[in-house]
Amino acid sequence: MSSESIALSSAGHGALSVGERLHGWITTVDHKRLGILYIVYSLIFLVIGGVEATIMRIQLIVPHNHFVSPEVFNRMFTMHGTTMIFFVAMPILFGFGTYLIPLMIGARDMAFPRLNALSFWLTAFGGLLLYFSFIGGNGLYGAGNAPDVGWFAYAPLTSRAFSVGHSTDFWSLALLVSGIGSIGTAVNFIATIISMRCPGMTLGKMPLLAWLNLVMAGMVILAVSPLTAAQIMLSIDRYLGGHFFDTQAGGSAVLWMHFFWIFGHPEVYILVIPCFAFASEIIPVFSRKPIFGYPVMVAATIAIAFISMSVWAHHMFTVGMSSYGNTFFTVTTMIIAIPTGIKIFNWIGTMWGGKIQFKAPMLFCVAFLFQFLIAGLTGIMLSASPFNWQLSGSYFVVAHFHYVIVGAILFTIFGAFYYWFPKMSGRMYHETLAQWHFWLFVLGFHLTFDFMHIPGLLGMPRRIYTYEPGRGWEIWNLLVTIGVFFQAAAILLFVGNLLWSMYRGAPAGNDPWDAWTLEWSTTSPPPDYDFATIPVIESRRPLWDLKHPEDPDWKYE
Amino acid sequence: MLEKRTKRSGRTRQPFRKLASIAVVLAISLSAAALCFAAPAAPSQIPSIFRPDSTPADSIFRLSRLVLIITGLIFLAVFSLLTYTVLKFRSRADDNDREPPQVYGSNQVELAWTVIPGLIVLVLFLATARVIRSVEDAPQPPAAIAVTVIGHQYWWEFRYPALGIVTANELHVPVSDPSHPTPTFLTLLSADTDHSFWVPRLAGKTDLIPNRTNHTWIEPHNTGIFLGQCSQYCGVQHAKMLLRVYVDSPQQFNAWVQQEKMPPVTDAAVESGRRIFQSTACMNCHAVSGTNADGHFGPDLTHLMSRDTLAAGAVTNTPENLRAWIQNPDSIKPGSLMPAMKLSPQDLDALTAYLETLR
């Protein structure tokens, strides 16, 4: 009965007109469609943010360059940071979560489908609001403008004395609106994972992806709320005569820093934990072994979440905290390296003794392991607060966090794309093109971000639109900029591959990777409401049990 | 259902390609690091944090060396383990189709890789805590020079309260002799937005934050010019808020102090230039001691000609640059807060000639 109705509904889609299909996408409350909307929206912003980065790198290719004015450069780094964090990384991870969580826990949709749609459209509206500042940032009396206060928008640069016009308001409102959307998504994730799991799926039998997204959603509620509150306080300062951050009237610039980083540091883990989740799904399947130390992986994630709430002021080692303050935040920051290290070792343990298949998703995850190792070690350097007094605010920090955000987060996101693309589209991607994408991106990434550490060690601060010759910075900036073009070429291959494969790729079948979690038990793409009959599971790898009835997992767990 | 998995060809070579590319990247990085330490021409102009020349920068350097050694060893160990795992356990063309043994975990191994990193963290933390205290809680000796640093949008104001000197952008301090230490203790304030005082070879950075008083100190061991710049984004011209520290011998420093304490020269030959200075907007923002020009938005010009650079280090202090700067500051530092004075060529020449006498 169910399979018939599925066939009917999918046949019905083909007959719709373009207008009706568009209407269907806009009014949808289906988690799969909303997930894809999130992902496509983020990809568009990824390209925009990438163009902004390229403009900055062209400006810095030689000292005293005149490619763009200082005003434009300052807008570019503000928009690049804001875009990449709030309108690329977060929504793309929410998109994968929205798409995958119900499928992986054997549910037919999210707990609150309408809230799901509202959250997406709020986030989308936030992005449009931010970019509208290019047109409306100076109100009626001028050409376009854009926020130029940096992505963490330190007070009092955001006060009306230093930021005239409305560009800062667009920045603030965009983050306020999308922050409310993020909190909605987080509530939805938690409700779905807690209450919609299929029969047999106890918390201890959930796929790690669901566990890690549950932890991430909890962190979103704790971390995004202070940021959202701070945006309201900033607006009160700017329009209602408040003095929270207005130093000219006795407000505190340091207060804003606390508000921002109590969001900003957990945010790094909000972004990286879903990526740990991707790696924890992909590495086992391509090593042909279950994840090593499942309970330890869950415990390490929860430990990271807790500790990450107490490390925020390591972004503020240079603001003149007392030696006790600096010591406290040094030790908390160093401790977080322990659960993070445990995770890396468990992934190695998963590969150990396996039969590793180097398909594109796995290649990206292996590169992630190498790069995340380096990012973690530079993180330890930054945690030693005296060393941080030298490195903070320099290009070393810029290189470090791009190692995390590109080298770890973006790499696993690419891995996730190739891994779940067959499920989402029903077609395989082009493996050779994907491998080209991988190697070009590895080359570009290392050219850009390995060499970016060095000018920081040689005293080059971040956020400068030009620099003096003769300080030993020229050659490194040249190499860094050259790497950008390899990365751009790789991204073009990636987008081309997705578009080509969507129409021309070989049919994927239900389970192209011989994988073990529930999303691979349904058709590709999954039918409306995902499962004709709700599955019942007995172990963490229900499809393994199905494929190996003689040696099922539930005997050992 | 899926007992027989089809083997796909051509995957055995990929790990070698990966290894090769990793080796290339590593080789490039190492040679880059080597170049970084053995830097080319004019090494004194490279503000490297690894060439400290002052007590706090030196303490940080020694700590950073320890941190680099420990993280380097961790890197080598985990990198080798990861590379070995990836190469050793790749699937091969001649494999049978059986799945590998399914291993779920091991408590002993988990314990080992929790405890060992824990011990490493403990060592790192103790070493770091020592340096935090030695730098941050250092007592101020009586012979220390006290300077108040005030950050302004795109320039630095230096005040020596005990000596009665006010200057800008170029900080003069005496070299400190270990037997008779004369460190310089800096009080950091801001007139507008956040800034950060960073001269990598002398000390780590400390922010200048409005409504807040911060402190830092330097104790240079050798004479010379040390370069730095603002390292907290402070607005349009953050990039050209450059900073120079002149570490003088005690004799040079005393001579500089005597010269800065002198009243400005009154030269009748440049009377017309002085009149322009005192009758236009110049004096709203700039001070020349002994005259009725006492503005505080811009740098004190009493001894302008004693400085090597103009516009917070953006250009060298030559008559041509000075003239161009007064005529149109945006041509040197677009977005600078100094307005274009729109003077006639004759007035501009007279004004430049006057400023040239402020030695």
Decide if pLDDT at B41 tops 80. Answer: no
Whether A205 maps to a domain, the answer reads yes
For residues B320-336, give the mean pLDDT.
95
Q: Which residues of A touch B40 (CB under 8 A)?
A: 472
Nearest to B114, CA basis, from A367, A349, A42 = A349
In chain B, whose CA is at the least distance from the CA of A512?
B5
- Cα gap B300→B197, rounded to integer Å: 20
Whether A390 and B101 lie within 8 Å, measured CB to CB: no
Nearest to A70, CA basis, from B173, B139, B330 = B330
Dihedral (CA of A58, A62, A68, A72) sign: positive
Straight-line distance from the first to the last Cα atom of chain A, in angstroms, rounded to the nearest whole number: 35
Dihedral (CA of A182, A186, A191, A196) sign: positive
> Choosing among A355, A368, A396, A486, which should be mutated to test the B contact, i.e. which has the most B CBs within 10 A?
A355
Cβ contact A210:A281 at 8 Å: no
Reading chain A (557 residues) residue by residue, the pLDDT tens digits are: 344 444 444 444 557 888 999 999 999 999 999 999 999 999 999 999 999 999 999 999 999 999 999 999 999 999 999 999 999 999 999 999 999 999 999 999 999 999 999 999 999 999 999 998 888 766 544 445 889 999 999 999 999 999 888 889 999 999 999 999 999 999 999 999 999 999 999 999 999 999 999 999 999 999 999 999 999 999 999 999 999 999 989 999 999 999 999 999 999 999 999 999 999 999 999 999 999 999 999 999 999 999 999 999 999 999 999 999 999 999 999 999 999 999 999 999 999 999 999 999 999 999 999 999 999 999 999 999 999 999 999 999 999 999 999 999 999 999 999 999 999 999 999 999 999 999 999 999 999 999 999 999 999 999 999 999 999 999 999 999 999 999 999 999 999 999 999 999 999 999 999 999 999 999 999 999 999 999 999 999 999 999 999 889 888 87
For residues B250-271, give the mean pLDDT.
91
Q: Which residues of A touch B8 (CB under 8 A)?
A: 357
Query: Which pLDDT value is given to residue B8?
Result: 38
Nearest to A148, CA basis, from A157, A136, A140 = A157
Decide if pLDDT at B15 tops 80. Answer: no
Q: Which residues of B touch A465 (CB under 8 A)?
A: 239
Confidence of residue B29 (pLDDT cuts 50, 70, 90): low
Whether B17 maps to a domain, the answer reads no
Cβ contact B54:B218 at 8 Å: yes
Residues 4-63 of A with CB under 8 A from B: none
Confidence of residue B45 (pLDDT cuts 50, 70, 90): confident
Nearest to A151, CA basis, from A181, A128, A174 = A174
At a CB cut-off of 8 Å and minimum separation 6, what does A17 contact?
A: none
Whether A380 and B71 lie within 8 Å, measured CB to CB: yes
Query: Which pLDDT value is given to residue A5?
Result: 43
The beta-strand segments (E) located in B69-178 are 145-152, 155-160, 165-168, 170-174
Whether A4 maps to a domain, the answer reads no
Query: Which pLDDT value is given to residue A14?
Result: 56
Same domain assignment for residues B249 and B285? no
Same domain assignment for residues B217 and B295? no
Whether A267 maps to a domain, the answer reads yes
Measure CB to CB from residue A514 to each of B5, B136, B205 and give the nearest one: B5
- φ, ψ of residue B39 to 5 degrees: the values are -70, 150
The bridge status of strand B165-168 relative to strand B203-208 is unpaired
User: Which CATH number is B84's domain given?
Assistant: 2.60.40.420
Q: Which residues of A touch B3 (CB under 8 A)?
A: 547
Cβ contact A394:A469 at 8 Å: no
Query: Which pLDDT value is given to residue B20?
Result: 56
Which residue among B238, B261, B284 closes a domain?
Answer: B261
Query: How many CB atoms neighbour CB A14 within 10 A?
Result: 7
Query: Which pLDDT value is given to residue B116?
Result: 95
Query: Which pLDDT value is given to residue B263?
Result: 87
In chain A, whose CA is at the least distance from the CA of B18?
A439
Measure CB to CB from residue B238 to each of A156, A335, A463 and give the nearest one: A463
Whether A450 and B32 lie within 8 Å, measured CB to CB: yes
Helix (H, G, I), strand (E, B) or coil at B218: strand
Query: Which pLDDT value is given to residue B2?
Result: 35
Burial of A48 (0-12, 13-18, 19+ CB in 10 A): middle
Same domain assignment for residues B222 and B303? no
User: Which CATH number is A128's domain given?
Assistant: 1.20.210.10
Asked if B11 is an interface residue toward chain A (Cβ–Cβ < 8 A), one would say yes
Same domain assignment for residues B137 and B56? yes
Whether A20 maps to a domain, the answer reads no
- Buried/exposed code over B274-294 (b: 16+ C-beta within 10 A; e: otherwise): bebbeeeebbebbbbbebebe
* Total of domains in chain A: 1
Which residue among B217, B233, B261 closes a domain?
Answer: B261
- Buried/exposed code over B328-350 (b: 16+ C-beta within 10 A; e: otherwise): ebeebbbbbbbeebebeeebbeb
Helix, strand, coil shares of chain A as percentages rounded to 5? 70, 0, 30
Which residue among B261, B293, B313 closes a domain?
Answer: B261
Measure CB to CB from residue B131 to each of A355, A386, A463 and give the nearest one: A386
Same domain assignment for residues B241 and B274? no
Asked if B337 is an interface residue toward chain A (Cβ–Cβ < 8 A), one would say no
Query: Which pLDDT value is given to residue B46?
Result: 92
Whether B18 and A363 lie within 8 Å, measured CB to CB: yes
Query: Which pLDDT value is given to residue B32?
Result: 54
Structure tokens at A41: 């929206």
Residues 275-314 of B with CB under 8 A from A: none
Decide if pLDDT at B251 tops 60. Answer: yes
> Residue A61 corresponds to which amino acid?
I
Same domain assignment for residues B181 and B226? yes
Query: Which pLDDT value is given to residue A98?
Result: 97
Whether A11 maps to a domain, the answer reads no
Nearest to B93, CA basis, from B189, B15, B196 = B15
Structure tokens at A287: 């090593």
Q: Which of A361-365, B42-46, B65-69 has the lowest mean pLDDT?
A: B42-46
Measure CB to CB from residue A471 to each of B45, B105, B129 and give the nearest one: B45
Query: Which pLDDT value is given to residue A556?
Result: 80
- Cα gap B281→B293, rounded to integer Å: 10
Query: Which pLDDT value is given to residue B34?
Result: 52
* SS (HEC) of B139-170: CCCCCCEEEEEEEECCEEEEEECCCCEEEECE
Domain housing A329: 27-143+157-555
Measure CB to CB from residue A356 to each of B28, B78, B86 and give the nearest one: B86
Measure CB to CB from residue B129 to each of A250, A327, A351 and give the nearest one: A327
Token look-up 């899926």 returns: B2
Whether B151 maps to a domain, the answer reads yes
Q: Which of A27-36, B37-46, B47-56 has the lowest mean pLDDT?
A: B37-46
Same domain assignment for residues B275 and B179? no
* Total of domains in chain B: 2
Residues 148-207 of B with CB under 8 A from A: 188, 192-194, 196, 198, 200, 203-207
Q: Which residues of A touch B18 (CB under 8 A)?
A: 358, 363, 366
Residues 391-410 of A with CB under 8 A from B: 391-394
Query: Which pLDDT value is given to residue B12?
Result: 40
Cβ contact A309:A384 at 8 Å: no
Domain housing B313: 268-356
